[in-house]
Each structure stands twice: as structure tokens, then as C-alpha cells.
Structure 1
């Protein structure tokens, strides 16, 4: 299992971000047009990512080399409701290494311990079987399927919604060592 940590995004990460955005096996599940993305647009995202207090984006990086493996985020952070949206995307070379699993646990620590949130949620295309299996494995609870929720390239698609709350996080954290 790869040893990882979370750090702020850096401009040097831009070409690697673009790598996962341009990977057809990954990009086919995006709701944005990844083909329009460039290294410059990735750099712009990185530079602006620190300006919005309602979003926190972190690089998933290998401990030994600081190599960028992906991005994990808390978006739409709402202190009033105590909720935030989770998002993650990783380079293909990180798939199957445990990096996404560890990054999810680390972002939960940020959400529930640093921000003191009560709930973290996500939505994913119902057809994205790999991601749906990952979210269940890592500990998210399936809430519901929203039929015909989004349109991608002219086709209506279903979204599955998942969440984890503070109590569920605490139960998992008691049984595991979060670094």
C-alpha cells in the first residue's frame, strides 16, 4: 500500500492533473468537458483554489517522493448546516494502491475534526460501477438514486447519493488508525 499524505495543490501538479482529466477511462464519467482542459487551465485552478473558503482541494502525494497521485476535495463547505461535498480523482497509476482509500480517510479527518462537520456527502453516476464499489468499501452509506439527474452529451443519467455522518466516522476511526 502506498504511503500518502495530503498537501496543498502546487503548480508542478498541473501536468499530472491533466493526465487523469485526459484519460478516457476516467474522463467518461466527468460532468465537465475535460478535453477543453490545458496545463494552463489546471494552473489557474490551482492558483484560485485557495481563494474560496467554501472549498478545500488537496493533492494526494506519495510520502517518499511527493509525487502527485490525485486530488481530494471538500466542496460547498457549509458551517451552518455542517455539511460538505466530497470529491476525489486519481491518476491511473494510483488505482489499486490504496491511495484513494487513505486520502478519503484523511479528508474525513479534516471534515469531522478540523471543520467539525456533521455530514459529508457525494454523488456519482450510477453507471460508474468502480466508483460506487469504492465509496461503499471506504465507508460511505448509500442514500438514494436520483433518476435522470444530469445530462451528459445529450443523455440523461442517474446519480447515486452517498454520505457519512460524524457518528459513523467516529465508529470507523475508533477501529482504525487514521494518520
Structure 2
């Protein structure tokens, strides 16, 4: 039904359309800003030149159309850690199990293929749907950064969560 593959340069126009949509960015920790296609191509080129520190995957539907992104960034091989990110582009693809699938697949890759020990994330405290997904997958809440991000004219909390290899349930991903 869904699958992951490494991000490709041809994905940039659709990603740019998502990143230019305020409705999606309002759910993420990043600030809204207008981003032209050249900036996204440079972002992609930077990723390709630093692939040892990040894994960025496109989430594809059964028609091989990109519907989201899932990533592990800031990979620290010495401490065996990484930072998790996910974005489901169009709202019509949300609440269909895409995020659950992609999160489990990238965690399986992190723990079983890359031998990482810890994957962490930060999420807007107001994004209850995302927090519920992370809870379901096995992430644990580690704390709150109070009023850490400026969104829509106000400062909001960021919830810090992590999952350890020993707590990752293989049954969840099968």
C-alpha cells in the first residue's frame, strides 16, 4: 500500500508546494516562510552532499506518488542517535495510516539496519494527533520546552519524545 524510497531531486516541486502551504506548516515546529524552488533544490543538494548525517525518504502511495517525507537527521554514529521528522503533505492523505506506516518503517531501519540506540523528536504541544501517533509507536515523553517556538503570533510549547532500541516493538512493524 505504501513504501519508502530515498528522496529524489524530482520530488522537490511537490515538496515545495507543501512547504509553501501554511496549513501544513502550522502543524510543524518550523516557521512558515515563503520558499522558492531554488531554495529547495539547494536544500536537496546539501542533503546529497551530507548523506552520512541524514536519511531522507519519500513516502509513496500505491501509485508511486509522493505523499510525504520521513527522515532521520543529525545521525550520531558514536552515540547511536538520530532525530526523527515526518511530514504528510496533502491533508487528504492524513488519518489513513500513512504516518504510522512510515514511522514504523524508518524506526525499523534505524534500529535493525543502522544499529541506532535512540531516536528522538520534538513536536508542537498542540499537535495532539501527532503525539497520539508517537505514543502508539512507543515514543516516551521526556519533557517540555516551554514556549520554545513562535507560531502565528504566540509562543508555543514543544514536547520532547524519544524511543530506545530496547523499547522498540518488532511486533508493531510486522
Instruction: Judge same fold: TM > 0.5, yes or no.
Output: yes
2:126 aligns to what?
Answer: 127
> How far apart in 1 are the matches of 2:28 and 2:125?
12
Describe how 1:68-107 pairs up with structure 2 within 5 A. 68-91=66-89, 92-107=91-106
Distance between the aligned counterparts of 1:66 and 1:13, measured in 2?
A: 12
Listed as ranges, the matches of 1:1-179 within 5 Å are 3-52=1-50, 53-62=52-61, 64-91=62-89, 92-152=91-151, 155-169=154-168, 172-173=169-170, 175-178=171-174
Deviation at 1:144, TM superposition (A): 1.4
Moved more, 23-32 or 119-128: 23-32
Aligned residues: 172
TM norm structure 2: 0.88
**Unmatched runs of 5 consecutive residues or more in structure 1:** none
Q: Secondary structure at the match of 1:47?
A: helix
- Structure 1 residue runs of 4+, over 4 Å off? none
Partner secondary structure for residue 43 of structure 2: helix
Q: Give 1:5 deviation, angstroms.
A: 1.2
Q: Is the 8 A contact 1:4 1:61 kept in 2?
A: yes
The answer to whether the 8 Å contact 1:50/1:56 transfers is no
Q: Which runs of 5+ in 2 are unaligned?
A: none
Structure 1 residues 153 and 37: alpha-carbon distance in aligned structure 2, compared to 1, 3 A threshold = same
Q: CA deviation at 1:154?
A: 5.8
Give the whole-Å Cα distance in 2 for the aligned partners of 1:45 and 1:4. Answer: 25
